Structure 1
Amino acid sequence: MFVEQNVPLQPLNSFGIAARAATLVRVRNENDVKAVLADASLAGQPKFVLGGGSNIVLTGDVKSLVLKAEVLGRRVVRETERHVIVEAGAGENWHDFVTWTLDHNLPGLENLALIPGTVGASPVQNIGAYGVELQDRFDSLDGIDLATGELFSLNAAQCGFGYRDSVFKHPPAIPSQSGYAPPSMGLGGRTLILRVRFALPKAWKPVLGYLDIERRMQEEGVLNPSARQIYDWIVAIRRAKLPDPAVIGNAGSFFKNPTVTPEQCQDIIGRDPKVVHYPMADGSIKLAAGWLIDACGWKGKQVGNAAVYEKQALVLVNRGGLENPATGGEVMTLAKAIQTSVYERFGIRLEPEPVVV
């Protein structure tokens, strides 16, 4: 275990917000966590798990003990009749892992290419893009309890996946004064994910249907694209639409796409016929949050050094760079103004995706 003090977090968050961690421990395996829990000066401190830093907004210095997840490794675990099970350490870069699977002729994750962050963060957020969510390819994960040091494994049902949601985003139940607490599977703030396993289908079929992908198919005259072609297309599409965090600090999509009833959607269409919407399997309608924000005139607008990206209104960016970066306060002031504007026009409350620290 290697303990660092007063650590700059600006290089460790994709928004490039300047902040510091009072204490940081780099976790390369479960023994590092157990060493933390065995250390009298560290064990009782509140703990914050940091992965790739691509889905957080830092609003100040972090007083909690920061556990930087850096568990590495990629391997094929086993095969079943229908799937190949592959595993990656929580500290592996997500996009690099997706590329590795395709390099080993293991398709299934190509629609999730170029999503920023680490493998360990992927089940927390139940990441998704272009018709595929992590839960569609998830097998199981290994984690460690930050209170007891116990190792455990969870399957998909135990992870409680929802739209950009999981048990890792909800705190455990707090006992009431009567000593009774309602059942809770919340693991937020109590778990560090060590490794994640994915079930990649042997009978692979492309997941298509999104307009951007259909355009690529028409432009290139490809009716039955391979996994590698889909991967290449999605990488190109995302690079054209989204800023590179290495160039312009950002946390990717800042708001979740809201879902509404068909009746609510028809009401919005009656007022705004061009609203971008997608029918869901459960009968609800998903609206494009970026379109709603753009319709309210926010694209390119700025609060301090936090701004709405001019090419994609769903992304908030750091216009100050590393020398004069946006503050977490500026980012959240801008986000709240956008939420108010969208609610006043459409009656819809946008929910942020990043974790605010």
Structure 2
Amino acid sequence: MSGYNVLGLMSGTSLDGLDMALCHIWQENGHWNFTIKHTKDVAYSDDMREQLKNAIYLSEKDHAQLHRDYGIWLGEQSKNFMEAFGSDIDFIASHGHTSHHRPHDGVTFQLGDGQLLADTSSKKVVCDFRTKDVSLKGQGAPLVPIGDKLLFHEYDFCLNLGGISNISFEKDGERIAYDIGLANMPLNYITHKMGLAYDENGKLARSGKLDHGLLQQLNALAYYQLPYPKSTGYEWFTGEIVPLIEASKSSEIDLLHTFIHHNCEQIAISVHKHQSKSQNKLLATGGGALNQFFMDTLQEKLGSHTEVVVPSRTLIAYKEALVFALMGVLRLEGQTNVLRSVTGATSDSCSGEVFLPNQG
């Protein structure tokens, strides 16, 4: 197989924008390989960020309209990408943007109409990677562990720090993964209150002081006691975390400091619980890996038995887009791309809907 050129599209819970990565993916000697050829990040306008953020509250009619509008917008961004970097792509693999995720109610929805994305970009599209798993009684998340298993198997743990934190590792011959809890979502919420897009390198957080009372409240949240497989999202953040932030008397800088300590304590608990070797390597990706105070604190909490590996900025920023590109390839190849060991579904699945552009 000569491989596939795939444009992977990812929009995460941190709502900072659309990640686009043109990836070459191929199989050789039974192993999957990749190169990331071109990347682009498209920041959301304030209006679009608000629409996506509040999509969960929309009426059915308005939600359906946003689904269509966002699908067209994704198609337009894909066209712009191809004009800039060449149209030599076989298809687009789109995660969409999650507006609803209540797997226990059988509900998950990713905005970004696949047919309109295909029509607008004039390219084949694979999208909607979560719904099938939820129909099989799974959590529909996390999905990235298939990429960890096939592309990053040399690491003992793969940690992604987007809006939330999730981890993936091998245990007894199976890939295990789940959402640990918080990562950038509370940090972004606090910096936005300060009129900042983010806390560069965690400089503000580093200068803060620990709020022991808040740390105790956060560590006592019921979600952390749930067994895996488990996943969480924006509803949990707005329902349980935002009230704690708003009730706190601490300064924003102390809140940033405290949340990073909390995040790292919960990550360390998960790693220590599952490490089976005396020396381990942990791959850290997602926006949180660019925050030096976050990384320093994480290394401190993990101790000397686990080395935190921070890869290139390209891989940090675009790993999820890469993995959705891989999931699209696996879907077209008819291979498993969602693991029951990760989601708790009744079976593995080959998930994703395929849309061909309408001609004429």
Using structure 1 for the length normalisation, give the TM-score.
0.28
Higher relative contact order at CA 8 Å, sep ≥6: structure 1 or structure 2?
A: 2
Larger radius of gyration: 1
Q: Which has the higher helix share?
A: 2
